[in-house]
Structure 1
Amino acid sequence: MRIIVLRTGDAIPSVAERTGQQFFDFIKGTAGDSWPYDWECIDVRTSQVSQVSQVSDVQLPDPRQVKGAFIITGSASSVTERAPWMLQTEDYIRRIADAEVPLLGICFGHQLIGQALGGEVAKNPNGREIGTVRLEVSKDDPLLAGQPRSFDVQTTHSDSVVRLPPGAVVHASTALEPNTVFSVGPHIRGVQHHPEMSDAIIRGYVEARYDIIKGEGLDPEAILGAIHPAPENGQTLRNFVRNFVLRAS
C-alpha cells in the first residue's frame, strides 16, 4: 500500500530554505501516523506520460494497479498556462478517476482536477486569497468529519475553479472562494486551501510576496497580523487518509 504524491511545484525558495522541506514533506508530516505505509513522490513536470504509463525518468503506475491513493500538490504555476505536462497530468487524472482510486488535489492540484474533469480554471474574480481564513462547511463529507461547521485554514492562491466539473458537489467555502472544498463522486476530493501548511509556512509566503500583495491593493501587514495557528487545518488531510484511503484498501 502506498500514497503517491504527484509533485507539480516547489515551495517558494525562502520557505524551502527555512524549513529544509518541500510540499511532499509538508504532506507526509501532516499525515503523520494516520498513514503507516509507504509514500512515493513523482515529479510530473519532468515526466512524459504516455498511454502505457511510460515516462522519461520514472514509471508512472497504471492507476488500476495502485492500492492506496494519489495526492496532487500545490504549485506556483497556473493551470491556465496549459503547459504540455499539465495536459498530460490531466489525462492521468482522468485515468485515476476511471480506476476509482482515491485522489486528493491541494490548491493547484484541486484546480487541475477541476479542469481535467470538465470544469474551468481562471483568475479568482474575488482576487488573491492568502493567509489564515475562515472556512464555512455547507455540506457534510467524510473529508470534513469531526471538524466544526466553521474553522480556520491556511491558504494562498490567485486562481480558482470558476466552473465546477459535471457532478461536482461543493462542501465548504470561504469569503473569497466559493468552491474551496468539492467532491466528484465517492473517491475524488479537491481542497483549495493548504491543509499541509502551518501558520509559519503561510507567514513565509506572505512575506515573500509582500510587494505583489501590496501592488494588488491589499494590506500585507493586516494579512500578516491575522495569521495564526489553525489546529483543524491539517485534520482535512488526515481525514482523507483515514476515511478514503484506508477504507478503500
Structure 2
Amino acid sequence: MNLSNAAEIRIAILKTGTTYPELKERFGDFDTWFLAHLDIPKLSVTVLDVTQGAPTSQPTDWDGVFVTGSPAMVSDKEPWSEATSRWLGNAVKEGIPIFGVCYGHQLLAHATGGLVGYHPKGRETGTHTVELRDAAMSDPLFRDLPRSFPAHLTHKQSVLDLPENAVLLAYNAFEPHEAFRIGECAWGVQFHPEFSEEIMGTYLSVQAPELEQENLSPGTLMDNIQKTPDASSLLVRFVEFVRECSQK
C-alpha cells in the first residue's frame, strides 16, 4: 500500500494490567510488546491504562483499539474492568475495529454477552498449535494464514461460552475458543501475538514452581518454544484492516 498520501490513523492500546516484575525489568510492559510490532508509517498509537479507570475518550475518537492481556481475572468483575467492558460494548456498537488479546479477548466476550471463567482443565501455557476453522478462510484477518500455526499462550481463564452471533475462528485440543469475531470488525484471540520467544520463555521460568505443582513440565514446555510469525502477523494485519476502513 502506498502510504505517501494516506491519512494518519489513530490506534488506542487499552492496557489492562502489568506483567511480572522479572519480565517488566527485562522487556518492558504489555504495551511495549505491542508497540514493538507497530513501527508502521502514518500510525499514531496512544496507550490508555484502564486499570486507573475506563477511557475518558469516546470509542469514536479512535480508528482502532487493541486490548492487552492482564494478570487480573475477568470473572472478578473489578470496577475498572466492568467500566472498560461497557466502553468496549459501545465500541462494538459503533463499529470501531477492536483486537483483544488474552484478557482483552475474554473482556470483549464478556462485553458482548459471552461467559468467562476458569478453564475446567486448568492452565494453558507455552507454545501450542492453533487450528483454524472454515469460517477463518473468509475472515479479513485470518484468511491468508495457514490452517494451523504455533502461538504463545498463558492463561487460566477462558471464554467458556461465546457471545451470541460470534463467529468462531480458531481452536486447539485444549482451548475450544482460541479466536472469534463479533460483527464485522471486533476480534478476540486467546493467544499472544505480541509475545517473543524470550518473553514466553521468561513466563515459563517465573511460572515454573506453580507448573510443577500442576503436573506440568517447565522443561518440556521450554523445549517446545518456537517462533510464531503467523500469530504475530495478526497485529499488522489488524492495523492494515483499520487503515482500509478509515479510507472508506
Structure 1 residue aligned with 2:122: 127
CA shift, 1:217, in A, is 1.5
Equivalent residues of 1:97, 1:188 under 8 A apart: yes
The equivalences for 1:58-69 within 5 A come to: 60-66=56-62, 68-69=63-64
- Give the Cα separation in 2 of the matches to 1:153 and 1:142: 19
Residue 116 of structure 1 and its aligned partner are, at CA, apart by: 1.0
Decide which moves more: 133-142 or 159-168: 133-142
May I ask how many residue pairs the two structures share in their alignment? 235
CA distance in 2, matches of 1:11, 1:229: 21
Q: Which residue of 1 is the match for residue 48 of structure 2? A: 42
Taking structure 2 as the reference length, what is the TM-score of the superposition? 0.91
Aligned to 2:198: 200
Taking the aligned partners of 2:144 and 2:61, their CA distance within structure 1 comes to 31
Query: How far 1:147 moved relative to its partner?
Result: 1.4
Determine the structure 2 residue equivalent to 1:4.
Answer: 12
Report the Cα offset of residue 237 of structure 1.
1.2
Deviations 1:122-151 (A, max 9, x none): 111232111110011112212213211111
Q: Aligned residue for 1:76?
A: 71
- 1:54 maps to what in 2? none
Q: Deviations over 1:171-219 (max 9, x none)?
A: 1112211100100000100000000001110100010010111111111
Question: 1 CA distance for matches of 2:210 and 2:177?
Answer: 24
* Equivalences for residues 126-205 of structure 1 within 5 A: 126-138=121-133, 139=135, 140=137, 141-205=139-203
Q: Is the contact between residue 126 and residue 177 of structure 1 (CA under 8 Å) also seen in structure 2?
A: no
CA distance in 2, matches of 1:112, 1:44: 12
- CA deviation vs aligned residue, 1:74-106 (integer Å, no higher than 9, x gap): 001100111111111111111111111001110
Counterpart-to-counterpart distance in 1, 2:191 and 2:91: 22
Q: Identify which range, 22-31 or 116-125, moves more after superposition.
A: 22-31
Rounded Cα–Cα distance in structure 1 between residues aligned with 2:236 and 2:142: 10
| Structure 1 alignment gaps of length 5 or more | 50-58
Q: 2:91 maps to what in 1?
A: 96
Letter in 2 for 1:118: G
Partner Cα distance (2:56, 2:221) in 1: 40
What is residue 56 of structure 1 aligned with on the other side? none
TM-score, normalising length: structure 1: 0.91
Of 224, 227, 247, 1:226 maps to 224
Q: Which residue is equivalent to 1:27?
A: 34
RMSD: 1.3
Q: State, as a whole percentage, how many aligned pairs show the same letter.
A: 33
Q: Secondary structure at the match of 2:229?
A: coil
